[in-house]
Chains A and B, each alone.
Chain A
Amino acid sequence: MRVVIADDEVLLRDGLDRLLTEAGFDVVGKAGTAGELRREVELARPDVAIIDIKMPPTHTDEGLVAAQDIRTSHPDVGVLVLSHYLQSHYAMRLIEHHPGGVGYLLKERVSGVGVLADALTRVHEGECVVDPTIVSRLLHRARNAGPVGQLTEREREVLALMAEGRSNTGICDRLALSPKTVEGHVRNIFMKLGVGESADDHRRVLAVLNYLRSRPQQV
């Protein structure tokens, strides 16, 4: 898989390059600013761009804005945004803009090559990736109040995987369940939560995340 890395920290950029290369990825470009990133994407046409959310000049959300631009201008290029922020706000901004082919991971995931490789593959396949830590925090908060607390342990696991952006097939693999069983769980979850089920996996992520985010505000 062809990958472009954008991060203004040279050490981290090079380290990530080596790690991904050793894991069998093809790093075709590196960028330190949003402008360089856009140029690299234009030239190298990667499958996925890994983008740090904070980049010069203001170090706020340049990376996120660049990621959204790339999704719009190059629909065949997936984006994986790395960030230190645990809050769901930036992830939601990304997903709401383009629910497929995008990912939002905590930056420290770069050292876990397994998680990173999994996320890159899923983004490349058009899925949506949300960091498990963010999802588990949302889920923890939501289970204090309302229908989420009434789900079974297994259903909560399925809900978390849906929120992380996994498809039914992905959930089957993770939990070692049959497709039929997973479909049953999904149906039950949507019924218990009172959320309309969506056939589209991307829309499903948005619906679930929105539900979890808004939960404690409607007690």
Chain B
Amino acid sequence: MRPRQARLGVILVAASFAWFLAGWATPGAGSPFVFTAGIALYATAPPVVAHAMLAYPDGRVRWWPGRAGLALAYAGAVLVLGLLAAAVFDPAAEGCAQCPRNLLLVDGDSGTYESLNRVGMYLGLACSLLLILLAVAGFIRSAPAGRHLAAPVVAAGCIYLGLVAADYAHSLARGFLGDDPLDRWLWLGQAAALCMLSLGVVWAWVWARRTRSALARFVIELAGSPSVGGLRDVLAAMLHDPSLELAYPLADGRVADARCRAAELNGEVTPIVRGGQQVALLSHQPGLLTEPALAEVAATARLVLENERLQAETLSQLENLHASRLRIVQASDAARRRLGRDLHDGAQQRLVTLALALRLAATRLGPGLDAADAQRIKQAEAELRAALADLRELAQGIFPAMLAEEGLSTAIEALAEAVPVPLTITALPGERFGASVEAAAYFVVAETARQNAAGVLRISAARRDGRLVVEVEGDSAPANITDLEDRVGALGGSVMTVPGPDGRARIRAEIPCES
């Protein structure tokens, strides 16, 4: 038996012992020792039972009003009704010739004896009612998680104390605790309530054991066939706390559940520590996990905990990888766009200015120019025009300005005017998407058009179920779609080649576009 149960056990044994002490204060006790113990302690059963009830489940009464109430009740029972009354109680003088000798007798005084009895009974009555109130208040104050275990014990204890109070009230008129028919009925009732209390304690103990073994069984099953996040569900079900959450501290400082979602830990948070390191955090109803239960959870679920923590760690790394992939694509797009713009605003602009200057110079020289020089200038101008055309194509291929400025649909229409293969556009979205999504969709079309030298390409792009679906159908599939796969994959989408009608090939890209 564990320490906390041992403490409670001692009190419970004391309660059952006290229950029988009442029977010793009778003429048939035989020995004066037994008889004296009987008259000194015959009223101690109620405080000890109340003590057991208030100390449930770990054997300690932590609430100070509870301790004060118990002290008062013990004083009334042991001191007033017991020791003090015994000191002035002379059995022979009270009419009990067969009674053994009262070893505590100092000076027999019938009047004092009666007064002490009366005071003791008033005190007993008041204390019984007070202890009922304290038990109910303590129950309400206790952690919700443990209440269902404490309820039978507290209920039985309160019934018992209620019957005790009734007996005190019944005895007030006659001045001593007697043995008339009503007393006997109340006594039987008290016995029944005590049986209930014992059963309550045993039931809670069995229930906790069963919970623990069921938890162990589930955890072992879970270790055999791990399901992500399964441990949290098992713990929540077994510990009867639907609000329970299980989270793992990750290497990058985040705290996440087994599926690597950011965890929200509300209520009481208990860390599970092993080898000096926090391996998990449990948030739960207050008071659900006290030290021994926690140690059991940590020990039984060790493998599964480790498994889920690694799972969360892996998912987290995967997420970081994904984010970095996306950043790479975005950075590369930004660089391409900047380069395209630099070509446009820089080189192209300069060449135009140069062509203008050349023309001006030629016009100035005008008549002074001989035929050969005029021819050279003409050639230079032709070269400049060719360079401008090359630059324009280069800028367009690096990153079409139209894509960022006017959107995917306009960019694809513009592409159709620029590429040598005829593009048949069957559907284009009327809306704008994120820059990366538009760029990925555009390059799927542009790259396929670049790699298909002949035949007509059919193009469609449309939003479907939160995805931008781009399809390009041509005579043959592009030979190399690795770049496209990288680009679309970084956005969490996919590119695949599927057979189209009439032996044609279709490349299909699906890009998530929910913002």
Contact = CB atoms under 8 A, between A and B. Distances in A.
Contact of B352 (A12, A59, A85): A12
A145 B356 contact: no
Contact of B422 (A9, A87, A216): A216
Contacts of B357: 11, 15
B344 to A, nearest CB: 6
B418 A86 contact: yes
B349 A89 contact: no
Given A59-B345, A86-B392, A219-B422, A15 B353 contact: yes
15 contacts: A22-B360, A22-B363, A54-B345, A59-B345, A60-B405, A61-B405, A84-B348, A85-B402, A86-B418, A87-B414, A110-B352, A111-B359, A216-B424, A217-B416, A219-B422
Contacts of A121: none
Nearest to A216: B422
B271 to A, nearest CB: 53
Contact of B356 (A16, A22, A137): A16
A113 B417 contact: no
Nearest to A144: B422
Counting contact residues on chain A (CB < 8 A from B), the size range is 20 to 34
Interface in B404-426: 405-406, 410, 413-414, 416-418, 422-426
Contacts of A15: 353, 356-357, 360
A110 B422 contact: no
B344 A84 contact: yes
A141 B417 contact: yes
Contacts of A111: 352, 355-356, 358-359, 381, 384
A187 interface: no
A113 B359 contact: yes
Given A60-B401, A111-B355, 11 more contacts: A54-B345, A59-B345, A87-B417, A89-B414, A107-B352, A108-B385, A111-B356, A141-B416, A216-B423, A216-B456, A219-B456
Interface in A86-108: 86-89, 107-108
A39 interface: no
Contacts of A84: 344, 348, 392
Interface in B376-404: 381, 384-385, 388, 392, 401-402
B459 to A, nearest CB: 9
B401 A216 contact: no
A192 B384 CA distance: 39
A216 B416 contact: yes
Interface residues of B, number: 36
A207 interface: no
Contacts of A113: 359, 363
A19 B359 contact: yes
A112 B385 CA distance: 11
A138 interface: yes
Nearest to B414: A87
Contact of A9 (B353, B355, B359, B423): B353
B358 A87 contact: no
B321 to A, nearest CB: 35
B356 A87 contact: no
B396 to A, nearest CB: 8
Nearest to B366: A22
Interface string B348-377: 110111011111100100000000000000
Top 9 A-B pairs ranked by shortest CB distance? A87-B414, A111-B355, A15-B356, A111-B359, A216-B422, A217-B425, A12-B353, A60-B405, A219-B424
Contacts of B359: 19, 111-113
Contacts of A61: 405
Contacts of B414: 85, 87-89
Contacts of B401: 60, 85
Contacts of B423: 216-217
Nearest to A12: B353
Contacts of A144: 422
A18 interface: yes
Nearest to A93: B406
B395 to A, nearest CB: 8
B387 to A, nearest CB: 10
B353 A88 contact: no
A19 B422 contact: no
A145 B357 CA distance: 42
A19 B356 contact: yes
Contacts of A89: 402, 406, 410, 413-414
